[in-house]
Amino acid sequence: MTPEDAQAHIAASDPRFALTEAVIGGVRYPVFANAPAHLRVLLEDAAPAYGDRDALVYQDERWSHAELCREVRRVANALADDLGVRQGDPVAIAMRNYPELPILILAVAALGAVAVPMNAWWSEQELAYGLTDCGARVVFADGPRHQRIERLAADNGLALIAVRDAEALPGRPRYEQLRDGGRDDRWPDVTIAPDDDFAVLYSSGSTGNPKGVVLTHRGAISAVYSWIMARLMAPLVADPPPPLPEPDKVQPPSFLVVTPLFHVTALQSNFLQGLASGATLTLMYKWDPEEAVRLIKRERITRFTGVPTQSAELMDTARALGESLDTLEAIGGGGAKRPAAQVGQLAEAFPAAAIASGWGMTETNALGILIGGPDYVAHPEAAGRPTPPLQEMRIVDGDGKEVATGEIGELTVKSAANMRCYLNQPEATADTVRDGWLYTGDLARIDEEGLIYIVDRKKSIIIRGGENIACLEVEGALHRHPDVAEAGVFPIPDERLGEIVGAGVQLKPGARVDEAGLQAFLADHLAAFKIPDRLWLRSDPLPRGGTDKTDRRALRAQCLAADTEAGAPINEE
């Protein structure tokens, strides 16, 4: 079938994917007519549909779909009864990939409140910014995050709740005390509309501080059901069609979650999609390729999605251990572009798995562009094609006019999955979303086959192993040091992480700080992954462009050239 025929066939034969239209924020969009109205319904539907099948696995702990649903209900009621959380209230969650993180997100959503999962690598200063910006009065945190937030909680009267290895503050209950408080486990009596907010996720933009991206229930569910539909379409459009699996060899879906659940790749495309598909979701607290191989074998994992570094390390470790990992049916990528050479290597190493990649944004609930299987092997540089059936995409020039095939312009997306707004930033929202179209800041082109290629970024963003880093934020932290006159931050190509952070720094006369001293200073102001891996210190001014702004491209070229002349070449693009 053609993609259009496959889409029409599935929409006509499966009521879940029937389409209608809805007006959202004054703009008309195609939407799924019969999708769950909100995330609580998605969870309610999963429990009876998948019975006692494991839904969530963490180390030696397991929750069936029914048990997960029951814990979510109890925590939702505790949020309301013990902590006074009401519909629309923000609730912050600061932790690594513990099972309490997704359970809390679902419980907050079930109450009609707004979950704010915070970047677990943020410094105390960054956490303070996020908590102040979102206005949360209740915060759940594991040990390291709890320690960073304690002073802020005391000064601002926040209800800081200890999770796992955190030591509870006097008079504050722990998570398990709230969960086990003996309340009935009926769903909270609230009415949730499809376009109510369900979460705020923070994403580094081109400005100094992260932006809070406000996402709705309909937006998240639109993304989830689009991915499920794309999976159903794949065998219908394959040429030749894949052989039907033998009934006794069909594996139940089982996903390994290796990226942080405070990002859309793990939360939306893995966890929420997995719930809707009846998958078993196995969480990793932190990435360890040998542990990943062990879990894939033990849990019979069918789907692995990680940043390119992780899939490369999984491949190398499996080879070193002599493991075929033949339960894997799909190896996806997200967060950063996979090196083209890695695509064929993965396909050779895991012949039974479809190698795939995607492009998406926090602002789109991770929905966007997909490519996989032979198409990806044949076009490893491509981002792929728009995920059906809700999205429209255009590549436009500076005047908003669509460019011709093959020409480069800015990628724009119109979809019910798009964010509602940036929190507390109406000007940034108006600049990014115009008449329903989200201007992504990514420069792209489309070829004659309909494949989209992401070629550059308009915004000053570094993507280090899947983590977005705003150049201006790092520059702002460098300028806090008394010996720094000026700083310019830029990406350096890196074989393992894709990009790492570099900075050229003009020091003031008489300055005595060195590279290690500046990096140590930055540790008090930035998450570790944002601290420049390389610093070039200089006494002369940084190069400037025609508008008198720092010319990052010229600065980067100067710094890399200086290394080459000194006999320490950098992996230049």
Residue 25 · residue 214 · CB < 8 Å: no
Tokens representing 329 are: 């049916």
- Nearest C-alpha neighbor of 349 from the set 378, 314, 375, 374: 314
pLDDT in tens, 82-100: 999 999 999 999 999 999 9
How far is residue 277 from each of residues 14, 46, 224, 231, 264, measured CA to CA in Å? Answer: 14, 8, 9, 11, 17
What secondary structure, in 3-state letters, does 438-460 show? EEEEEEEEECCCCCEEEEEECCC
Q: Is the pLDDT of residue 207 over 80?
A: no
Token pair 């008394």 is found at 482
3-state secondary structure of 545: coil
Residues pairing with 396 in the sheet: 402, 410
Out of 220-229, 473-482, 494-503, the most confident range is 220-229
Q: How confident is the model at residue 335, as a pLDDT?
A: 74
pLDDT in tens, 25-67: 999 999 999 999 999 999 998 878 887 889 999 999 999 999 9
Q: Is the pLDDT of residue 568 over 60?
A: no
pLDDT higher at 145 or 546? 145
* Cα–Cα distance measured from residue 318 to residue 357, given in angstroms and rounded to the nearest whole number: 20
Q: With residue 199 as reference, give the H or E element that holds it.
A: strand 197-203
Average pLDDT (530-556) is 83
- Nearest C-alpha neighbor of 269 from the set 210, 225, 233: 225
How far is residue 311 from each of residues 48, 276, 538, measured CA to CA in Å? Answer: 34, 25, 38
Tokens representing 170 are: 């006097």
At residue 209 the predicted structure's pLDDT band, cuts being 50, 70 and 90, is confident
* Cα–Cα distance measured from residue 395 to residue 416, given in angstroms and rounded to the nearest whole number: 19
Average pLDDT, the chain: 91
Are 39-52+63-214 and 461-565 in the same CATH fold? no
Average pLDDT (454-463) is 79
Q: What is the dihedral of CA 155, 160, 162, 168, to 10 degrees?
A: 50
Q: How confident is the model at residue 99, as a pLDDT?
A: 98
Q: How confident is the model at residue 545, as a pLDDT?
A: 61
Residue 491 · residue 462 · CB < 8 Å: yes
* Cα–Cα distance measured from residue 237 to residue 492, given in angstroms and rounded to the nearest whole number: 39
Rounded (5°) CA angle 199-365-263:
70
- Nearest C-alpha neighbor of 116 from the set 125, 414, 129: 129
pLDDT higher at 501 or 551? 501
- Nearest C-alpha neighbor of 95 from the set 170, 149, 56: 149
3-state secondary structure of 114: strand
Please give the CATH topology (third level) of the domain spanning 39-52+63-214.
Answer: Rossmann fold (3.40.50)
* Cα–Cα distance measured from residue 505 to residue 184, given in angstroms and rounded to the nearest whole number: 59
Range scoring the smallest mean pLDDT among 66-75, 331-340, 411-420, 442-451: 331-340
Q: 392-396 and 409-414 as β-strands: parallel, antiparallel, unpaired?
A: antiparallel
Q: How confident is the model at residue 566, as a pLDDT?
A: 57
Q: What is the chain's alpha carbon radius of gyration, rounded to the nearest angstrom? A: 24
| DSSP code at position 209 | S
Neighbour tally for 353: CB within 10 Å: 22
pLDDT in tens, 490-526: 999 888 888 999 999 999 899 999 999 999 999 999 9
User: Whole-prediction pTM value?
Assistant: 0.85
Residues pairing with 387 in the sheet: none
* Cα–Cα distance measured from residue 49 to residue 566, given in angstroms and rounded to the nearest whole number: 64
Side chain identity at residue 410, one-letter code: E
Residue ranges per structural domain of the chain: 39-52+63-214, 461-565
Task: List the CATH code of the domain at 461-565.
Answer: 3.30.300.30
Range scoring the smallest mean pLDDT among 45-59, 319-333, 345-359: 45-59
Average pLDDT (335-355) is 88
Q: Is the pLDDT of residue 546 over 60?
A: no
Average pLDDT (232-240) is 84
Q: How confident is the model at residue 550, as a pLDDT?
A: 75
